[in-house]
Amino acid sequence: MTGTTRIPPAEVTGLKGIVIKRFAKKMLGTVPTSIGVYWHNQKVLMGMSGLGSKVKKWDACDEDLKTYAHMAVASLIGCTWCLDYNYFEAHNKGLDLDKAREVPRWQESDVFTPLEREVLAYAEAMSHTEPTVTDEMVASLREQLGEAAVVELTAVIAFANFTTRGNIALGIESDGFAEACELKPLAQRSPQTSGSA
């Protein structure tokens, strides 16, 4: 659950604040701490929200693959907010929750298909500093998914890095969305696969 953010959440006020809080409660059941933190710069909040809404509308790549990829980034980087939110979203979208909960330990888990494993490896490779993506990774995904889906998957992973790293820097942690839905706890990332991103 949420600890202390590095910038204290502001009170979300005014007409725009009422609309945002109402929308957040409808979508998530609560107003996330992150909204209060980003409320200090409403242009940034609205810009990030707008981009996130556009990302959700992309449809060239399988939704399961994109969700697992985002969760893999969040797990590698250590963003509990994004990991929890995407697990909650997997529940809401009717995705395979047994797979979603295993993303943090995907390398040891036997629930993923070979393609899903390639997507998870690609997400992590893109998220390392320096990125470790290879020609072979992209060629294999391109052959299986097609160019449009690989471009979309890559953009989703880049967006995941954008959001996870911002949350980490600002100290934004899980708001307990999955717990509120009484979902099984996420698997823990094993120590040997943890490392600096």
**Residue 162 in domain:** yes
Separation CA 197–CA 194 (nearest Å): 9
**Residue 82 in domain:** yes
**Residue 27 in domain:** no
Q: How many CA within 13 A on the CB side of residue 28?
A: 22
Nearest CA among 83, 95, 52, 69 for reference residue 149: 69
Separation CA 81–CA 32 (nearest Å): 9
Domain count within the chain: 1
**Residue 36 in domain:** no
**Residue 4 in domain:** no
Q: What CATH number did the domain enclosing 135 receive?
A: 1.20.1290.10
Structure tokens at 179: 């717990």
**Residue 54 in domain:** no
Range of the domain at 78: 59-180
**Residue 52 in domain:** no
Per-residue pLDDT of the chain (197 residues; tens, 9 = 90+): 446 999 999 999 999 999 999 999 998 889 999 999 999 999 999 999 999 999 999 999 999 999 999 999 999 999 999 999 999 999 989 999 999 999 999 999 999 999 999 999 999 999 999 999 999 999 999 999 999 999 999 999 999 999 999 999 999 999 988 887 788 888 888 776 555 56
**Residue 79 in domain:** yes
